[in-house]
Chain A
Amino acid sequence: MTLLDVRDLAVRYDTPHGVSQALDGASLTVAAGELVAVVGESGSGKSTLGMAALGLLPASAQRLTGDLLVDGESVFGLDPPRLRRLRRTRLGLVLQDAAGSLDPTRRVGRQLAEHLDRPGRADVLSRLEQVRLPDVERVARSYPHQLSGGMAQRVAIAIALARSPGLLVADEPTAALDTEIKHDVLRLLADSCRERGTALLVLTHDLTGIAAYCTRLVVMYGGRVVETGPPDDVLERPRHPYTRGLLHAVPGQETVGGTLRSIAGSPPVLTGPSAGCAFAPRCEFRVDRCDARRPEPSADAARVLCHRDGELDAVVTLDEVPEVSR
C-alpha cells in the first residue's frame, strides 16, 4: 500500500536573495512500514522533499509542477484544519537540532504527556523507557538543556512517535551527534518504526552510515531522485555515476596508501529546471546528450536517472590515479 507518493514534484524558492530550484521533478513512493533513507548533499532537495511531505514548505516556496500525496490525498490541496489533522494523526517529524526541538521552558515529561492519548505519569515513563533512556524519572523531570544531545533526540523521537504515525520524517537526525551515539539513535529509529509499522523517511548526507538501518536507499541530486534500491544493491552495484563517485569519495573505503577519487566541482545551485542531467558538469562519463536532454528514469525498480545507464560497465574501468602514499 502506498503511503507517500511524490509525483514529478518541482518546487522553487523565491526569496529576496534570489531564486533557487530545490526540487526539479522528484518522484518517489514509500509503502507503509518501509524504512527509506534519502541520501543527498546540499542542494539535492532532500530537505524540501521532507518538509513538503508534512505540508511544511515556507511561504517562499512555490510548487511548479507535480504533486505529493499522503494516503492518496494531495497535501497541497488540504485546507489548514485538515492538514493539521493529517499531521496530528498520520505524520511525525524529527530534526537535526535535538535540544532545540524541545521547548526550553517546559519539563520534558510534560511536553511528552501533551501528545499521549492517556497522558498519565506511568505512560510517560514507559514511553521514555521505550526510547531506551536510562533513569526515566529524572529525564521526565528535566528541562531540555539538562539533557545531552543524544538523550534529547530520544525524547524528540518519543514525542514524534507518541501517536504511532504512518510516516516519520527524520531530517539529519544524527548529524549533530557523536559517532557512537549516532548508531544507537539510528537503530532506535529503525526499530521503533518497525515495531509500530510506521514508515520512516530519513534524510541524510551519510550514504554508508545509514545503509544498515534502512530497507531502501534513495539517492537525490539536483532536485531529482537519481537512483533507488535495496542498500546492498546501491552500495555494491551503484549504477548512477554520482552514486559511484560518492562511494569512492567517502574515506574509510580505501586501502592502505590508496587514494580517494573525489568528484570534481561542487553540487549545483539550480535557479531553474536543468536542461539536461544536473550531474553532467561533474560527470566523468558525460557525452553530448547529457547536457542537451533531461534523462528519464530507467524502466526497472532502480529508476536510474542516467542517459548512459547500462552502457557504463562496458565502457569504463576505473583507473587508479597514483598519488602520494601514506
Chain B
Amino acid sequence: MSGPIGRTAVVLARAAATMVAVTMLVFIALHAVPGGFESVYLGTSASETSHATVRAMLGLDRPLPEQYLSWVGGIVTGDLGTSLLSSRPIVDELAVRLPATAQLAVLATVISVPAGAALGIAAGVANLRGRASGLGRVAGALSASVPDFVVATVLVFVASQAGWRIVGASYVPFAEDPLGSTARMLLPALSLSFFATGIVARTTRDAVLAVRAEPFMTMAIARGESTWQIVRRHVLRNVANPIVTIGAVNVGALLGGALIIERVFAIPGVGEYAVNAVNARDYPVVMATVVLGAAAFVVANALADLAGGYIDPRLGARRRVAR
C-alpha cells in the first residue's frame, strides 16, 4: 500500500494501537497497586464490610476486563471518570487546567524548535567552514544537564534584577487576556524549553553535517552556490524531517518538565493536578492524566510522521517513473 492515503492509514492505525497499549498498561499498573482504590476513601483501619460497600459503589467488584472496557468506553465518549477526592467529573477539572498546560507546552515548542533549529544550522554551517568551536558543545552539554527548575530559578532571578515586573504576576487564562497571559507565560516557557532547545539544536547540527556528506552538497558547492543559497535551497528541506521528528519526541519531555515548571511558577495546570493526584492516590485522576499525556505525545508523533511524507518525497514511497 502506498501513496498519501495508505500512508495516513498506516500512521493512524499505529497511533491507535499505541493508545490501546498505553491504556492497558496504565490500567493494569494501577489496578495491581496493593490496597486498592477504595483505601483512599477508607484509610487503613476500615472494616471488611465497608471495603466491600465502597468497592461495589465504585464498580470495583466487577471482573477486570469489564472494568477496563467501561473505563476505555468512557474515555472514548469523553467521560474520564470521577475524582475520588473531589467527587467531581475529571473532565470538568481538566477543562479548567488543560488550557494553561497546553499554552505552556505550545509556547515552549514554539520557542525550542525554531531556536534549536537556528542554533543547530548555525553550528553545522560553522563546522562546515572549519570554524567548529567548543562553544556549541559546551552549550549543548549545559542544556542537557542543567535541570529545568534551576533554569527557572536563574531566569526568575535575572528577570527580577532587570526589573521585569511580570515576574511576580499570577496566572491569567489565555482566553481572558491573550497578551498578558502570554507575557506571563514567557518565563515558564523559556525555562521549560531550555532542555528541548538543546536537543533540537544538536539533532539539527548532526543532520546538517550528515547532509553535508551527500554528493548533492558537493555538487552545489561546485556550482558556486553561496553558503546562504545552499542553506536555503538544500539544507533546510533536508534537515526539516529530523527537526520535526525530534520536536514531536520532545513533547514527552516537555510534559514531564511541565510538572515541575507549573509548581515553580504556581501555574494551575494539568501537571500540578497530576502531582496532587499522585500524592493523594486519586487513581482515576492519575490514570486520566497519564492517558492524556500519552495521547498528546502520540498525536504529536503521528502528525510528525504525516508531515515527513510531505517533506521528503522518498518517504511517500511512490514507484519509479521509468528506467
Contacts and interface: CB of A to CB of B under 8 A. Distances in A.
Q: Do A and B touch (CB < 8 Å)? A: yes
- The interface size bin for chain A is 35 or more
B223 interface: yes
Contacts of B322: 134-135, 138, 148, 151
B233 interface: yes
A87 B218 contact: no
Interface string A90-104: 011101010011111
Contacts of A89: 224
Given A103-B237, A146-B320, A97 B313 contact: no
A19 B322 CA distance: 45
Interface string B48-71: 000000000000000000000000
A103 B238 contact: yes
Contacts of B319: 146
B219 A95 contact: yes
A54 interface: yes
Contacts of A84: 224-226
A83 B223 CA distance: 10
B214 A100 contact: yes
B7 interface: no
Interface string A103-121: 1111000000011000000
Contacts of B224: 83-89, 91
| Of listed B215, B238, B312, residue having the most chain A CB within 10 A | B215
Contacts of B234: 103
B223 A115 contact: yes
Contacts of A105: 237-238, 311-313
A147 interface: yes
B165 interface: no
A114 to B, nearest CB: 7
A153 to B, nearest CB: 12
A142 interface: yes
B321 A139 contact: yes
B250 to A, nearest CB: 23
A92 B218 CA distance: 11
Interface string A141-169: 01101111011000010011000000000
Interface string B206-218: 0000000011101
A56 interface: yes
A95 B213 CA distance: 13
Contacts of B312: 104-105
Contact of A104 (B218, B225, B238, B320): B238
| Of listed B130, B234, B319, B322, residue having the most chain A CB within 10 A | B322
Contacts of A104: 216, 238, 312-314
Given A104-B312, A105-B313, A148-B320, A92 B222 contact: yes
B196 to A, nearest CB: 25
A301 interface: no
Contacts of A160: 219, 223
A100 B238 CA distance: 13
B89 to A, nearest CB: 48
Interface string B296-323: 0000000000000001111000111111
Contacts of A264: none
| Of listed A85, A95, A101, A156, residue having the most chain B CB within 10 A | A101
Nearest to A102: B216
Nearest to B217: A103
Nearest to A162: B223
Given A101-B215, A101-B216, A91 B222 contact: yes
A93 B313 contact: no
Contacts of A135: 321-322
B221 interface: yes
A59 interface: yes
A181 to B, nearest CB: 9
A56 B212 CA distance: 13
B219 A156 contact: yes
Interface in A271-305: none
A85 B226 CA distance: 10
B221 A88 contact: no
A77 B115 CA distance: 37
Contacts of B216: 100-104
Contacts of A93: 218-219, 222-223
Contacts of A83: 224
12 contacts: A54-B222, A84-B224, A87-B222, A91-B222, A100-B215, A103-B216, A104-B238, A114-B233, A146-B319, A146-B321, A148-B323, A150-B323
Interface of A: 54, 56, 59, 83-89, 91-93, 95, 97, 100-106, 114-115, 134-135, 138-139, 142-143, 145-148, 150-151, 156, 159-160
Nearest first, the 10 closest Cβ-Cβ pairs linking A and B are: A88-B224, A87-B224, A93-B222, A100-B215, A105-B237, A84-B224, A143-B313, A148-B323, A146-B321, A97-B215
Interface of B: 130, 214-216, 218-226, 233-234, 237-238, 311-314, 318-323
Given A103-B216, A145-B320, 10 more contacts: A54-B222, A88-B223, A101-B215, A104-B313, A104-B314, A135-B322, A142-B321, A143-B314, A146-B320, A159-B219
